[in-house]
Amino acid sequence: MTIDGFVALYIFMLAAFAGWVIIGRVPAILHTPLMSGSNFVHGIVVIGGLYALLNASTGLEQGIGFVAVLLGAGNAAGGYAVTDRMLAMFQSSSHQPVHATHKSGAHRRKPTSPKKG
Amino acid sequence: MLTMLPPLLIDIVGIVAAFLLMFGLWRMSSPVTAPAGIKVAGIGMVAAVAASFLYVFNISPAAHPHLPVNLALAGIALAVGGGLAWWGGRKVAMTAMPQMVALYNGMGGGAAGAIAAMELFGNHARGVTQLGVTLLGAIIGAVSLSGSLIAWAKLQGVLNKPLRIKGQQVINGLVMLATLAVGFYILFIVQSGTVPVLSLQALICLFFGCAMLFGILMTLPIGGADMPVVISIYNAFTGLAVGLEGFVLQTPALMIAGMLVGAAGILLTLLMAKAMNRSVSNVLFTNFGDVVKQKQGAIKGSLKPTAAGDAGIAMRYASSVIIVPGYGLAAAQGQQKLYEFVKLLIAAGVKVRFAVHPVAGRMPGQMDVLLAEAGVPYDLIFQLEDINDDFATTDIVLVIGANDVVNPSARSDKSSPIFGMPILNADKAKQVYVVKRGEGKGYAGIVNPLFYADNCNMVYRDAQAVMAEMIEAVRGLGLSAAA
């Protein structure tokens, strides 16, 4: 498949538009995971690095290709790890009872809980 | 036949991966669907990486003898790079998230730059367009790499002071011009086949050196408070570089994902800059710390300190409380204690909500993550535009470690450097308590008239200690009433 100038421009234009629309939908509360998530998405550069490294024919090319894959893999894996970790933290109130009893045993909260009003 | 199949498979997996990555981001429109979304995107990434090993069936003849070595190198690079970053990402504290994102971002930029370097050294590019795009991607990638590393160093505290020298703009401009000049010279030499002044290799090295120097010089003068915007810009840069190199390598998945992130990063940057009431060029090209010189004396009233316990008890008997958390809360690691206190209030029937300003924290939305980490359910967390009208009808507002985001002079005082910045209307509540470490000024060094207002009391202590005292006071109340 060959992608020539104008086809490339079409792809770029549509992708840019999609990015703008998709990210515009994300609520501000998720902006940090969004940033690390989009950071993860450009980690796809690792497959470009793999292509280049597998086609390397000199020591210099092998060296640079190795760096490209190393950095790209770091970008992708790290971006995924932090995004996944952060998103798992967002709980709603309806999940909370399970979460709270599971975590902070009853012994500490007892004194105040019977008292209401 | 056998040589036709692998490229077809790569193309199919590529298009599926591009779809999954986009779909994953699409699912981020709500905290409910987001965790599943990132997993979908992760599957797309793994599939794309696995499929790219099918390239071995169609590599250039020159690379054939090196295939075993190249495969081994690829395996090692994937394992080491991916493993280390994964381990770092699992370990990193949520307060250190901005520098971690900056670091990963720099890696992506570096990878794009390295791919461009291989294309240039190997002289693979066909035609002016491809070569030009390679060079452009190389510049953006290299700037993103070095700039992100400087941003990381600043956020990590390795570099503390913004470094400003006279004529910085001129020097930056000259370095950029030099980079472009070398780039055009490379373009000219490769196209015309003339013998260069320096060897082509040296020119390429010079080219990357200049581009990286520009990234460093551009980031050094920017102050810590502006780092969120900077990270966001470099995120967009890396996306663009990846997209451009995707064109050079003729890989649509890279083009789509890269350009998607590029556009997304630009949108996020604009949103951030708007929340800080500054233009992007203002962040990049003016030195924020310098303009902050404000005459004092226009402020009426006095600072009225109060005890943490009294404030806690007042909140226990209020009917509605809004909490405005700032980075000072995270710096004191008081989120857990704060939520413990909030749970006491909720158990006592108080309506408690959190109001988060878009620029609270060191990157957009960081305060939301820090609260979520402490266990605060996301339905208690409200953004500026959703809660700002409710302050006037609220009994008590508790401001913890935040300053500029509740500074009313942003609304009224035209001489204030933050005039026009959207703020949380904490001053409109019936009573405001401000938890602050000391009498000092905020991050930006601007006087806050709210602190001197009649309806405001100050609690001077480390946030964590204050929360502990408030919990104690409210608990003591429950015990004595029960006894």
Residue B47: pLDDT band (50, 70, 90) is very high
Is the pLDDT assigned to residue B442 strictly greater than 50?
Answer: yes
Q: Is B404 a catalytic residue?
A: yes
**Whether residue B116 has pLDDT greater than 90:** yes
Asked if residues B257 and B21 have their Cβ atoms less than 8 Å apart, the reply is yes
pLDDT at B254: 93
Q: Is the per-residue pLDDT at B480 higher than 80?
A: no
Give the closest residue to B25 by CA, choosing from B11, B50, B44: B44
- Per the CB < 8 Å rule, is A73 touching B59? no
Confidence class for position A2, pLDDT limits 50, 70, 90: confident
Q: What mean pLDDT do residues B241-247 have?
A: 94
Q: What is the mean pLDDT of residues B174-195?
A: 88
**Helix, strand, coil % in chain A, rounded to nearest 5:** 80, 0, 20
Looking at residue B440, its pLDDT comes to 64
Amino acid B414: pLDDT: 78
pLDDT in tens, B385-424: 889 999 999 999 999 988 888 988 888 877 777 788 888 9
Mean pLDDT of chain B: 87
pLDDT over threshold 70, residue B295 = no
Residue B299 has pLDDT above 60, yes or no: yes
B74 to chain A: which residues are within 8 Å by CB?
Answer: 50, 53-54, 69
Which uninterrupted H or E stretch holds B424?
none
- Using the Cβ of A8 and the Cβ atoms of chain B, whether some distance falls under 8 Å is answered with yes
The confidence band for B234, taking pLDDT boundaries of 50, 70 and 90, is: very high
CA A20, CA B183: separation in Å to the nearest integer?
Answer: 30
Using the predicted structure, report yes or no on whether residue A100 has a pLDDT greater than 50.
no
Q: Other CB atoms closer than 10 Å to residue B300's CB: what's the count?
A: 9
A77: nearest CB among B86, B264, B366:
B86
pLDDT digits (tens, 9 = 90+) for B348-363: 999 999 999 887 877 8
Instruction: Note the pLDDT of residue B229.
Output: 85
Instruction: Looking at the complex, report in whole angstroms how far the Cα of residue A64 sits from the nearest Cα belonging to chain B.
Output: 6
- DSSP assignment string, B35-66: HHHHHHHHHHHHHHHHHGGGGGGG--GGGGGG
Q: Does B360 touch chain A (CB under 8 A)?
A: no
- Integer Cα distance of B41 and B260 in angstroms: 14
Confidence class of residue A1 from pLDDT cuts 50, 70 and 90? low
pLDDT at A74: 96
Q: Rounded to whole angstroms, how far apart are CA atoms B130 and B401?
A: 51
Q: Which residues contact B133 (CB under 8 A, 6 or more apart)?
A: B244, B247, B248
Of A11, A30, A85, the CB nearest to B90: A85
Distance CA B48, CA B16 (A): 8
Largest CA-CA distance found in chain A, in angstroms, rounded? 78
Interhelix angle B200-219/B97-122, nearest 10 degrees: 160
**Per-residue pLDDT band at B340 (split at 50, 70, 90):** very high
Inform me whether the C-beta atom of residue B69 falls under 8 Å from chain A C-beta atoms.
Answer: yes
Using a CB–CB cutoff of 8 Å, tell me whether A97 touches chain B.
no
Q: Mean per-residue pLDDT for B145-155? A: 92
CB–CB of B85 and A74 under 8 A?
yes
User: Would you give the DSSP letter of residue B215?
Assistant: H
Q: Give the model's pLDDT for residue B285.
A: 73
pTM of the entire structure? 0.85
Contacts of A87 in chain B (CB under 8 A): 31, 34-35, 38
Catalytic residue among B404, B413, B427, B462: B404
pLDDT above 60: residue A46: yes
- Interchain contact, B251 vs A51, CB within 8 Å: yes
The residue among B118, B108, B138 whose CA lies nearest residue B212 is B138
**In which band, very low, low, confident or very high, does the pLDDT at B2 lie, cut at 50, 70 and 90?**
low
What was the pLDDT predicted at A99?
A: 43
Neighbours of B405 (CB within 10 A): 28
Structure confidence at residue B262 as a pLDDT band (50, 70, 90): very high
Exposed e or buried b per residue across B170-198, where buried means at least 16 C-beta atoms within 10 angstroms of its C-beta: eebeebbebbbebbebbbebbeeeeeeee
Cβ–Cβ contacts within 10 Å for residue B357, how many? Answer: 24
B294 or B178, which is more confident?
A: B178
Query: Looking at chain B, which residue has its C-alpha nearest residue A26?
Result: B29
Cβ of A114 under 8 Å from any chain B Cβ? yes
Which residues 372-431 on chain B approach chain A with CB closer than 8 angstroms? 372-373, 375, 377-381, 383
pLDDT over 90 (residue B163): no
Q: In this predicted complex, what is the ipTM?
A: 0.86
pLDDT bracket for residue B444 (50, 70, 90)? low
Chain A: closest CA distance from residue B31 (Å): 6
Residues ≥6 apart with Cβ < 8 Å to B143: B109, B211, B212, B214, B215, B218, B237
